[in-house]
Amino acid sequence: MSAQRSPVIRAETESWIAAGSVALLGSGVFLVFTSLFTSNLLIAGVGAGAASLALFVLFASGWVAMLPMAALSLALPPAYASEAIRLGPALLVTVLVVVAWGISKGVSARPIRTGRLPIWAIALFLGWLIISAGFAADRGSAARETANLLLFFAFLIAATDLLVSRPERVRALVVILGWTAAAVGAFAILETLAFVPGAFALGGTGYYRATGGFAWPNELAMYLTISLPFTVFLLREAESPLRRSLAVLALLLAVAGLVATFSRGSWIATLVAPAALLSLGERRLAFRVWLLAILAGLSLDLASGGAVSGRITQTLVDPLVGQRFLLTRAGVLMFMAHPLVGMGPGGFETGLDEFGLLVPGLTNFVASAHNTYVHVAAELGSVGFLALTGFLASTWWTLRSSARRFSSQASTRSRLTSTLFWSFTAACAISFAEWTLAQGIGQLIMLVAAMGFAADAEAS
């Protein structure tokens, strides 16, 4: 009799564990959000710990899909942030996904499926990252940045394996990212209009540069630049009038949110990225996107009393723009002085104490070269630079090949692969003006790459 009841008992036990985990997760999230208003680190720690434990149980048991939760966490505000560290839901969920995935792979003993993921470039980059860290002058910054980059690529491998095993989940993730971008855009509009408190006033206007859940406006702009293709996918997939109307609203919210960041580098990347669609033969879509961008910019400029055009015309005389180019130049000097191992992970800021003084006119000593490629070259030297660019180029080519394979078809698969290629191109483009391997943005880029490799593996 007991042998017959044991499955029922196990099922009842599992249901209680699941219910308890959900309750613990809700309590933890409540405490974390409470800490945002009270600035109480103890409450934040207890809440984060409770939420972490609950999510780990839900992830490891398979009761909750890991990647949708990771996608939803990317733009959420941090529980704690300082100049040196940012502890937010994106970091927490990413760690849990990697650990839960690693345990599940170990228990099942199933092989890791990565499709055409360029393992050689990843292994070379991570191996050289660790070697370079050994030569870093600032060991604390080196350890933090090494852990950060190791986590990003571990997340890439985990996400690729999960999606290659279940490629039908790629479309669902694109839809989630599209609607999330719309929600983030709506919040950005409220912030720039001061309905939500803003920290970055736009000089000469009554508006604020939106940051959303990120620390800086440029980070929110990067997120929306990479996510904008997903909102277009929603519109291309909409079949009924209601869905088309909602998809149009989502697209407009995302575009308006991007404008609300007043990030000129992201605006340029947003205009450049659709050129990738031309190589797929999707000229009509590319020109429609450019037309939408122009009309949206003109409309929002009129509505804001010239704030958009004013931001553009200030570019040539804005001292901050000049400082960005000088920071990039400082990164080049660091690379030339240390071409093999660089300054070490996280060593750009420390290197400015020496090399920043060699750049006439540089006064804004911040921890970024405002160019991902130069930043990596400065910190990791020539080998790290070649490994990262090899990874990006190989991934870009794989996503392009996958998209071209279906470019002549009017199908969901064709729209999906072209969307992922467009989004990854946007990430590569914005990397020329910003440091994209930061929390929230780095995971988004890795998730886009993983979806691309999964879609390619399914097509193959």
Percent of the chain residues topping a pLDDT of 70: 93
pLDDT averaged over every residue in the chain: 89
Q: What CA–CA distance (Å, rounded) separates 132 from 124?
A: 12
- For residue 365, what pLDDT band results from cuts at 50, 70 and 90? confident
Length of the chain: 460
pTM (2 d.p.):
0.91
Return the domain boundaries, the chain: 2-111, 140-325+353-459
**pLDDT tens per residue, range 233-262:** 999 999 899 999 999 999 999 999 999 999
- For residue 36, what pLDDT band results from cuts at 50, 70 and 90? low
Q: Which amino acid is at 365?
A: F
- For residue 3, what pLDDT band results from cuts at 50, 70 and 90? very low
Say what angle helices 169-192 and 441-459 make with each other, to 10 degrees.
150
Q: Which amino acid is at 123?
A: A
**pLDDT tens per residue, range 370-413:** 999 999 999 999 999 999 999 999 999 999 999 998 877 778 88
- For residue 295, what pLDDT band results from cuts at 50, 70 and 90? very high
- pLDDT, mean of residues 336-348: 94
| Higher pLDDT among residues 4 and 440, named by residue | 440
Structure tokens at 145: 């940045």
pLDDT of residue 79: 63
**pLDDT tens per residue, range 307-317:** 999 999 888 78
Q: What CA–CA distance (Å, rounded) separates 160 from 98?
A: 12
pLDDT of residue 5: 43
* H-run or E-run covering 87: strand 86-87
Q: What CA–CA distance (Å, rounded) separates 431 from 266?
A: 10
User: Picking from 120-134, 138-152, 325-339, 407-421, which range would have the lowest pLDDT averaged per residue?
Assistant: 407-421
- 102 contacts 109 by C-beta, under 8 angstroms: no
- For residue 51, what pLDDT band results from cuts at 50, 70 and 90? confident
Q: Quick one: which of 147, 50, 140, 143 has its CA closest to 98?
A: 147
- 420 contacts 171 by C-beta, under 8 angstroms: no
pLDDT of residue 250: 96
pLDDT of residue 83: 59
DSSP string, 236-296: HH--SHHHHHHHHHHHHHHHHHHHHTT-HHHHHHHHHTTHHHHTTT-HHHHHHHHHHHHHH
pLDDT for residue 10 is more than 70: no
DSSP H helical segments within 166-240, as ranges?
169-192, 217-237
Q: What CA–CA distance (Å, rounded) separates 453 from 449?
A: 6
- pLDDT, mean of residues 45-50: 79
Q: What is the DSSP letter of 110?
A: P
pLDDT for residue 118 is more than 70: yes
Helices vs. strands in the chain: H and E counts, helices first: 18, 2
* All residues at 6 or more sequence positions from 384 whose CB lies less than 8 Å from its CB, including other chains: 125, 128, 129, 132, 342, 376, 377
Percent of the chain residues topping a pLDDT of 90: 67
